[in-house]
C-alpha cells in the first residue's frame, strides 16, 4: 500500500456509508454482502432487490476501475486483481477460488461479513460486531504477515 490517498479513501468510505444508509432507510435491510449474496441461491422471496444490489455493486466497481484508472494505485497503474505469491506455486485463479471459499466459510461461521459487521454493526454499537471486526482485522494482518502480500 504505497499510495494511500486520504481523499479517495474518504470518498469511498462516504459512498459506502451512503449506500448502506439508502439500503437501510429505503428497504429496511442491513448491507451485509454475505447475507445479500447468500440468499440468491437458493432464491429467497426477496431475490429482486438482492440481485439488483449485487449487479450494481459489481458494475460500479468495473465502471470506476475503467473511468478512474490508477486512483489509489499510484499514478498510471491500472487496477488489477492480486497475484498469488510466486513462491507458493499456486496459480492465481486457484488462489482466488480458495480465498473466496475460505471467506464464504468464515462469513457463515461469523454470522456476517466485514460490511455487515464492520460498517453496519459498528454503527449500531453492536458488541458482537466489534468482536467480529477485531477478529477479521487480526486474521487479515496475520495473513499479510504470512504471505507477504501487501
Residue 75 shares a structural domain with residue 92: no
End-to-end CA, the chain: 6
Residue 39 shares a structural domain with residue 60: yes
The Cα 6–Cα 43 span in angstroms is 39
Give the end of a domain, one of 36, 53, 80: 80
The Cα 44–Cα 116 span in angstroms is 19
Ranges assigned E (strand) in 2-124: none
Residue 76 shares a structural domain with residue 21: yes
Residue 22 shares a structural domain with residue 76: yes
Residue 76 shares a structural domain with residue 86: no
Determine what percent of the chain is predicted with pLDDT higher than 90.
10
What's the pLDDT at 7?
81
Tally the domains of the chain.
Answer: 2
* Backbone Cα Rg of the chain: 17
Residue 20 shares a structural domain with residue 75: yes
Give the end of a domain, one of 29, 61, 80: 80
Residue 62 shares a structural domain with residue 13: yes
Structural domain boundaries enclosing 40:
1-80
Residue 70 shares a structural domain with residue 94: no
Residue showing cell 492480486: 82
Q: Using alpha carbons only, what angle is made at residue 72 by residues 67 and 94, rounded to the nearest 5 degrees?
A: 85
pLDDT for 13-57, tens place per residue? Answer: 888 889 888 888 988 888 888 888 888 877 778 888 888 888 998
Q: Using alpha carbons only, what angle is made at residue 46 by residues 127 and 33, rounded to the nearest 5 degrees?
A: 40
Amino acid at each position: 500500500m504505497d499510495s494511500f490517498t486520504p481523499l479517495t479513501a474518504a470518498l469511498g468510505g462516504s459512498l459506502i456509508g451512503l449506500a448502506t444508509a439508502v439500503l437501510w432507510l429505503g428497504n429496511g435491510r442491513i448491507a451485509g454482502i454475505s447475507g445479500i449474496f447468500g440468499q440468491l441461491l437458493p432464491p429467497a422471496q426477496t431475490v429482486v432487490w438482492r440481485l439488483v444490489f449485487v449487479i450494481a455493486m459489481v458494475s460500479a466497481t468495473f465502471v470506476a476501475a475503467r473511468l478512474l484508472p490508477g486512483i489509489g494505485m499510484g499514478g498510471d497503474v491500472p487496477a488489477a486483481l492480486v497475484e498469488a505469491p510466486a513462491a507458493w506455486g499456486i496459480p492465481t485463479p486457484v488462489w482466488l477460488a480458495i480465498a473466496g471459499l475460505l471467506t464464504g466459510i468464515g462469513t457463515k461461521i461469523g454470522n456476517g461479513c466485514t460490511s455487515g459487521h464492520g460498517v453496519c454493526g459498528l454503527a449500531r454499537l453492536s458488541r458482537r460486531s466489534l468482536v467480529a471486526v477485531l477478529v477479521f482485522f487480526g486474521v487479515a494482518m496475520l495473513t499479510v504477515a504470512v504471505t507477504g502480500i501487501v
